[in-house]
Chains A and B, each alone.
Chain A
Amino acid sequence: MPAGGEMIFEGGEKDQYGHAKLGGIGQRVSAGIKELAPRFNGGRKIDMISMNLGYLVRSGAPDAVDCIVPTAYGNLAVDLILRGETGRMVALTDGKYGSVPIGEVVATKKVVDVARCYDTERYRPKYDGLEGLPMMVLGGAG
């Protein structure tokens, strides 16, 4: 989020879980860059494209990982039921299928580990120190 700023919301309506709809940060950032760009470009303007990818990203058929993992998760759920192990959530941990107590869902918040994963000087991911990280590298269980 912008320094000294706050999350940007579209409208005020909240869902039953208390979440307001977020959106609009892209336009704000684009406008800010357009205004500032000449300062770093010898006084010359730079044109912008600002797009919200929105539902284009979540619609359509699953890719290979989202065919394999959900199928495995579904089978793992039945394994747990067969063993009488309910109150669980199926999970991938360090590349291996397993399960955790379902209470983990509400026990913590999973966010990016900024110190480990995000270069705050260059505003990009960190690309070093990957050995030992799980497949989704920067998106581990935390």
Chain B
Amino acid sequence: MEMAKKGRIGILTGGGDVPGLNPAIRGVTQRALHEGFDVVGIRRGWAGLVELRRDAGANNSECVMPLTAELVDRHAYTGGTFLHSSRTRPSAVPAKDVPEHLRGKYTAEKNDLTDEVLANLEFLGVDYLVPAGGDDTLSYGVELGRRGFPVVALPKTMDNDVPGTDYCMGFGTCVSRTVQLARQVTSSAASHERIVVLEVFGRYAGFTALLPTFAGAAQRCLIPEYEFDIERLAELLVADRNAHPDRLSV
């Protein structure tokens, strides 16, 4: 006898991909299934909820997929997101990106497709939405919440700059990789007694430079929050290089 389901949870991953999203999808899905929910994955971030067709017989495999314990476990320790992602913002969809089946209804230069998103969530039978994303993706989760839809968000960004939490999924691996790559390049730097400059992702917050430097990836770092003097930087890096046993600096 099948137990009555507690409801349906939808999960999506929006914005930039990071390591950690697949473990998060597994974390939600396996626990939710155990607790008596069923779970669907919304594909390609908010795009899956914008592009879904509610016509009988429509093929929505690019927009939604059922999630099972076996499926999420298979992907659990891989990078990126097997649900895929996008930077779609349903409340501001440019005319050229409005799905074809909606173009007769939404004709402005920028279109708010939230009514479609809510109708699609109802069509899918989703009772709760768990979006994983950075501040952009989750800002739309805030809007859905204001429209009364139950949302529980997971903070994700390799920049670690989502407010309200010490830790965003993806940041740890970002730091690990940066340290590893910086250490790797020192053999070439040392061989020719060079100064190395490594550019890392990070839009308005400098955590992706600061924490790897703290961990030993570099002697100096620059962050968006502080205006630097290139002459001072050059003086420091030349001194670092000349004092280093291998005559390099990073």
Contact = CB atoms under 8 A, between A and B. Distances in A.
Interface string A50-87: 11111011111111111101111111011011100111
Given A37-B237, A92-B165, A105-B138, 9 more contacts: A40-B234, A58-B177, A63-B19, A66-B170, A87-B151, A88-B153, A112-B207, A114-B225, A123-B233
Where chain B touches its partner, the secondary structure class is mixed
B53 interface: no
Contact of B152 (A23, A72, A86, A120): A86
List the 6 closest pairs (A to B, CB-CB), nearest first. Answer: A74-B27, A26-B199, A104-B164, A65-B172, A62-B19, A66-B20
A119 B250 CA distance: 17
A134 B24 contact: no
B173 A86 contact: no
Interface of A: 1-5, 7, 15-17, 19, 22-27, 29-30, 32-33, 36-37, 39-41, 46-54, 56-67, 69-75, 77-78, 80-82, 85-95, 99-100, 102-112, 114, 117-118, 120, 122-125, 127, 134-142
A89 B153 contact: yes
Nearest to B174: A57
A125 B247 CA distance: 22
B25 interface: yes
A123 B232 contact: yes
B229 interface: yes
